[in-house]
């Protein structure tokens, strides 16, 4: 049986300086396992965008990552306000981030579209006032020397 | 095995195993085993951080003795621009260069001159050469090595040109051969270096097939002798041949300035460099054309083999630049001759195993061990963090009970009571027995 590596991280709310911690750790683990560099990059960017989203919109949440031999499954779950119109949120440039966040250079409305761009599959479960869960999968293989 | 030549080494006699270097090494390349620090060759960047922090001066840099000049019929000094910042009130570079000639070199060739040529070549390549953006400078060998072992997705961005040191050696030797009629092997070119990373880059270069430089003298080693000669120079020889743009490469931001472009970022200090590369790796830096990274804080003026305080040196260079022309005049450079022969390739020193199933099994075991370890990252086991200790165990290089906390638990489980040793109050301990 091929093993799966599971990791779970708390993503803290409102603290931009710590966003990226979870994706950074996963990046290191994937390098240690020897996954191909393109997959590592796509996992890192998709996760980072999701982390930032959680900080901006949801006051933090949880990142659960399962590393399989052929893919990386990422679940990003928060108990934030939810996304009222998922289709709109998927449009490039659409944002509900408040001005003070956009002044910091975040919340440009590229989060979800970017995740979709880098992931092999993305599905969103969301309910207003309950929270949002993203299921992200990135296909990956080990790159032999 | 030239790939693993290192200029940073350990004097085991002086080392007390204090773990200062262990915690500071940016690539976790140090372990303390049997009370002595050891450097894991494949991970070391020769950045010199460990030399900087060792309170017992047990970490040293290997560089050449000036006696090596005798191996050649004709010798050339290649002063790093950093050298000029070491002297107080220097208004004329010719004093330094004349001092070098009086130390016995037959010729001096300023590395700052080659820096200007490299800047110009880079400018042209960026306009016409289809370089992927942002271009990352390849001038600091410690940074190039860092990217090679940690940033697989950034390797292709590194500027594939030799650093000014290599370019200067080549130009100077070819020129000298033409002037003297001597074969190239009889001509020796010696870099006056601010750091061990450059020494390694001479002995085992990453991009070019081989270096034209024959050896390196440390700035700190040559300084007193040079100063003595300089003090006696009355009328310096007019040999200086570079301008403010080349000299500014010595401190952080200088290389970017010399490119005459606006969208650049310059970061210095190895931790800052890592942070920028991490950001770049996840595409968070916005639109940039050029990224200049120096492992030392302040740039090469902060190199461990310099003598002057880096901020003081930087201020001096700033003043000196007012007395220099903007740049040297040189014939059209030949970009092809400066190109790296070998593209930068990711080196998988972090990888646990070539076999994925095995790597995953090892990773699971590492996670299991991490849960057992206290998570204090105290370093007393000899590894920099609990996680690296777990990795070492899984790789068969350490034992779980190298951890003092685990050892204590095991001792207590075996009925050996250690509490008398560590629950004493300070007064009790100090009482004569
Ligand atoms: S030179 Fe730098 S990378 Fe090498 S062991 Fe010392 S601190 Fe670590
Ligand atoms: S910044 Fe300069 S002095 Fe420091 S390691 Fe890099 S090349 Fe050497």
pLDDT at residue B195, as a whole number: 97
Calculate how far, in angstroms, residue B44's C-alpha sits from the geometric centre of ligand 2.
14
pLDDT at residue B413, as a whole number: 86
H or E element: which one contains B154? none
Chain B hits for A117, CB-CB cut-off 8 Å, are none
H-only helix segments in B181-269: 196-203, 219-232, 244-247, 254-258
Mean pLDDT of B379-384: 95
DSSP string, B381-399: TSSSSHHHHHHHHHTTSS-
**Protein residue whose Cα sits closest to atom 8 of ligand 1:** B25
Mean pLDDT of B163-177: 96
Q: What is the pLDDT of residues B224-262, one digit of tens each?
A: 999 999 999 999 999 999 999 999 999 999 999 999 888
**Above 60 in pLDDT, residue B403?**
yes
pLDDT at residue A3, as a whole number: 82
Does the beta carbon of B197 sit less than 6 angstroms from any atom of ligand 1? no
**Protein residue whose Cα sits closest to atom 7 of ligand 2:** B140
> What mean pLDDT, rounded, does chain B reach?
92
Q: If pLDDT is split at 50, 70 and 90, which confidence band does B58 have? A: very high
Mean pLDDT of B410-417: 84
A29 touches chain B (CB under 8 A): yes
pTM of the predicted structure, to 2 decimals = 0.91
Mean pLDDT of A129-140: 95
Contact across the interface for A32 and B350, Cβ inside 8 Å:
yes
Does the beta carbon of B45 sit less than 6 angstroms from any atom of ligand 2? no
Q: What is the pLDDT of residues B327-348, one digit of tens each?
A: 887 777 777 889 999 999 999 9
pLDDT at residue B2, as a whole number: 43
| Cβ-based neighbours of B93, under 8 Å, separated by 6 or more | B84, B110, B240, B242, B247, B320, B324
Calculate how far, in angstroms, residue B29's C-alpha sits from the geometric centre of ligand 1.
6
Closest CA to B168 of B69, B78, B64, B259: B78
Q: Which residue of B has its CA nearest to A19?
A: B279
**Above 60 in pLDDT, residue B349?**
yes
Q: If pLDDT is split at 50, 70 and 90, which confidence band does A17 have? A: confident
**Above 90 in pLDDT, residue A91?**
no
Q: Which residue of A has its CA nearest to B346?
A: A37
Mean pLDDT of B178-190: 97
pLDDT at residue A95, as a whole number: 73
**Protein residue whose Cα sits closest to atom 6 of ligand 2:** B140
Ligand nearest, relative to CA of residue B150: 1
Contact across the interface for A5 and B352, Cβ inside 8 Å:
no
């Amino acid at each position: 049986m091929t093993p799966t590596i599971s990791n779970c991280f708390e993503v803290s709310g409102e603290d931009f300086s710590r966003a990226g911690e979870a994706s950074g750790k996963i990046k290191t683990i994937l390098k240690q396992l020897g996954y191909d560099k393109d997959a590592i990059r796509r996992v890192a960017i998709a996760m980072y965008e999701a982390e930032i989203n959680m900080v901006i919109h949801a006051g933090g949440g949880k990142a659960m990552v399962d590393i399989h031999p052929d893919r990386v499954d990422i679940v990003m779950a928060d108990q934030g306000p939810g996304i009222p119109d998922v289709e709109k949120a998927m449009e490039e440039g659409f944002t509900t981030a408040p001005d003070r966040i956009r002044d910091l250079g975040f919340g440009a409305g590229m989060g979800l579209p970017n995740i979709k761009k880098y992931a092999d599959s993305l599905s969103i479960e969301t309910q207003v006032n309950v929270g949002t869960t993203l299921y992200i999968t990135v296909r990956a293989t080990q790159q032999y020397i | 095995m030239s790939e693993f030549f290192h200029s940073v080494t350990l004097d085991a006699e002086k080392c007390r195993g204090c773990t200062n270097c262990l915690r500071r090494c940016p690539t976790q390349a140090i372990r303390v085993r049997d009370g002595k620090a050891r450097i894991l060759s494949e991970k070391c960047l020769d950045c010199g951080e460990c030399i900087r922090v060792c309170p017992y001066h047990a970490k040293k840099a290997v560089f050449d003795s000036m006696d090596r000049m005798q191996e050649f019929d004709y010798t050339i000094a290649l002063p790093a621009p950093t050298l000029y910042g070491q002297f107080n009130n220097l208004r004329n570079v010719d004093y330094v260069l004349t001092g070098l000639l009086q130390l016995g070199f037959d010729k001096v060739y300023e590395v700052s001159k080659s820096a200007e040529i490299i800047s110009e070549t880079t400018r042209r390549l960026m306009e016409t050469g289809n370089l992927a953006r942002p271009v990352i400078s390849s001038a600091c060998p410690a940074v190039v090595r860092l990217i090679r072992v940690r940033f697989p997705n950034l390797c292709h961005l590194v500027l594939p040109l030799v650093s000014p040191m290599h370019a200067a050696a080549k130009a100077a030797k070819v020129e000298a051969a033409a002037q003297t009629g001597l074969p190239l092997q009889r001509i020796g070119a010696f870099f006056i270096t601010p750091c061990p990373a450059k020494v390694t880059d001479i002995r085992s270069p990453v991009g070019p097939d081989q270096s034209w430089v024959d050896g390196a003298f440390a700035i700190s080693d040559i300084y007193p002798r040079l100063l003595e000669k300089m003090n006696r120079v009355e009328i310096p020889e007019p040999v200086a041949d570079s301008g403010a743009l080349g000299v500014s490469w010595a401190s952080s931001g200088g290389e970017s300035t010399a490119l005459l472009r606006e969208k650049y970022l310059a970061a210095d200090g190895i931790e800052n460099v890592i942070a920028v590369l991490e950001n770049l790796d996840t595409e968070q830096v916005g639109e940039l054309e050029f990224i200049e990274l120096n492992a030392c804080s302040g740039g090469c003026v902060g190199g461990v083999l310099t003598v002057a305080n880096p901020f003081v040196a930087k201020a001096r260079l700033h003043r000196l630049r007012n007395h220099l022309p903007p740049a040297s005049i040189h014939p059209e450079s030949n970009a092809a001759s400066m190109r790296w022969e070998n593209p930068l390739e990711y080196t998988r020193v972090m990888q646990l195993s070539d076999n994925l199933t095995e790597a995953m099994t090892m990773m699971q075991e590492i996670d299991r061990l991490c849960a057992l370890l206290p998570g204090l990252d105290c370093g007393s086991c000899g590894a920099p963090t609990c996680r690296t200790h777990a990795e070492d165990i899984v790789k068969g290089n350490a034992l779980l009970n190298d951890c003092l906390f685990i050892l204590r638990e095991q001792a207590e489980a075996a009925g050996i009571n250690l509490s008398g040793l560590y629950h004493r109050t300070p007064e009790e301990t100090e009482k004569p027995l």
